[in-house]
């Protein structure tokens, strides 16, 4: 019986002469070591996953909040702009503003940004009286229910108002 030839690691052919065989096996090739590493990775993932989800849903909520703020700001701005130019009945003194027209313009502007408002959420007013040189104010409110009810226990209500001088 002859001496057994060392085998190549990648295929079952004998090693060529002059090529030394590796005597030590790498520790990461041991099956039990591999299972231990997989278990460690799973535990680390289980620990970090809730934090990543909290961060991700927080970013989504923040984006939704900024979207609502921008939409109601634009709605208030467009409502007051329309109200000052076209929404005043200038036949009487003090002027009378046309609330239904101002509401409709603000609601349409919010709808352009995929935000559904009602006439109850849009409030035009003149702080003292509606005369030339005094401001017309439009207040728009909206409520957001956040995804992250763990952090925010209640709905968030946002209010934006814009004023413009009546010419």
The answer to whether position 4 is within a domain reads: no
pLDDT band at 161 (very low <50, low <70, confident <90, very high): very high
Q: What are the tens digits of pLDDT across the range 70-103?
A: 999 999 999 999 999 998 888 888 888 999 999 9
Task: Specify the residue for token string 């799973």.
Answer: 42
The answer to whether position 27 is within a domain reads: no
The answer to whether position 5 is within a domain reads: no
The answer to whether position 2 is within a domain reads: no
The answer to whether position 17 is within a domain reads: no
Q: What string of DSSP letters covers 45-91?
A: HHHHHHHHHHHHHHHHHHHHHHHHHHHHHHHHHHHHHHHHHTSEETT
For residues 151 and 55, is the Cβ–Cβ distance under 8 A? Answer: no
Q: Has residue 48 got a pLDDT over 80?
A: yes
* Three-state SS at 149: coil
pLDDT for the residue 99: 92
Q: Has residue 59 got a pLDDT over 60?
A: yes
pLDDT for the residue 120: 96
The answer to whether position 143 is within a domain reads: yes
The answer to whether position 149 is within a domain reads: yes
For residues 8 and 14, is the Cβ–Cβ distance under 8 A? Answer: yes
The answer to whether position 6 is within a domain reads: no
Q: 99: domain range?
A: 64-165
pTM of the model: 0.72
Task: Name the domain count of the chain.
Answer: 1
pLDDT average, residue stretch 38-46: 87
Nearest Cα to Cα of residue 137 among 148, 152, 127:
127
Burial of 35 (0-12, 13-18, 19+ CB in 10 A): exposed
């Amino acid at each position: 019986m002859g001496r057994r030839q060392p085998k190549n690691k990648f295929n079952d052919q004998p090693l060529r002469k002059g090529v030394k065989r590796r005597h030590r096996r790498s520790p990461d090739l041991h099956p039990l070591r591999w299972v231990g590493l997989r278990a460690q990775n799973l535990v680390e993932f289980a620990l970090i996953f809730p934090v990543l989800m909290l961060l991700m849903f927080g970013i989504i909520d923040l984006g939704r909040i900024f979207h609502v703020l921008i939409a109601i700001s634009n709605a208030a701005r467009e409502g007051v702009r329309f109200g000052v130019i076209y929404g005043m009945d200038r036949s009487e003194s003090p002027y009378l503003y046309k609330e239904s027209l101002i509401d409709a313009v603000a609601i349409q502007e919010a709808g352009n940004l995929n935000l559904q408002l009602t006439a109850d959420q849009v409030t035009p007013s003149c702080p003292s009286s509606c005369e030339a040189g005094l401001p017309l104010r439009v207040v728009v409110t909206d409520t957001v229910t956040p995804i992250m009810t763990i952090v925010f226990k209640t709905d968030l209500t946002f209010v934006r108002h814009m004023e413009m001088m009546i010419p």
